[in-house]
Amino acid sequence: MPRNVSIAACQFVVRPVGSFDEFAAHARGLLDQAKGADLVLFPELFTVELFTTFPDWKDLPVSELTRVHQYGNTNYTEDYRQLFESEAKERGQHIVAGSHLELKDGRYLNVAYLYGPDGLIHMHDKTHIFPAEAQWSTEEGDTVEMVELPFAKVGFNVCYETEIPECAATLVEQGAEIILCPSFTFTEYGFWRVRHCAQARAIENQVYFVHCATGADVPSDGPLPPGWTRSSILSPCDTPWDAPNGVVAESPEPNIETVVHGEVDLDKIYENREKGVAPTFRDRRRRADLYREWPSHINA
User: Is residue 159 annotated as a catalytic residue, yes or no?
Assistant: yes
**Looking at 10, 85, 102, 159, which residue is catalytic?**
159
**Looking at 10, 44, 177, 257, which residue is catalytic?**
44
- Amino acid (1-letter code) at residue 46: F
Tell me the HSE value of 32 on the side-chain side, using a 13 A CA sphere.
6
- Beta strands 138-139 and 147-148: pairing type? unpaired
CA–CA separation, 90 and 86 (whole Å): 6
CA–CA separation, 29 and 82 (whole Å): 17
Name the helix (H) or strand (E) containing 286.
helix 280-286
Judge whether 132 and 185 are in contact, CB under 8 Å: no
3-state secondary structure of 175: coil
Helices (H) and strands (E) in the chain, counts: 7, 15
Judge whether 108 and 139 are in contact, CB under 8 Å: yes
CA-wise closest residue to 118 among 91, 148, 151, 147: 91
Q: To 5 degrees, how large is the angle CA 9–CA 148–CA 39? A: 20
Tell me the HSE value of 67 on the side-chain side, using a 13 A CA sphere.
19
**Looking at 10, 85, 102, 126, which residue is catalytic?**
126
Q: Point out the residues that are catalytic.
A: 44, 126, 159
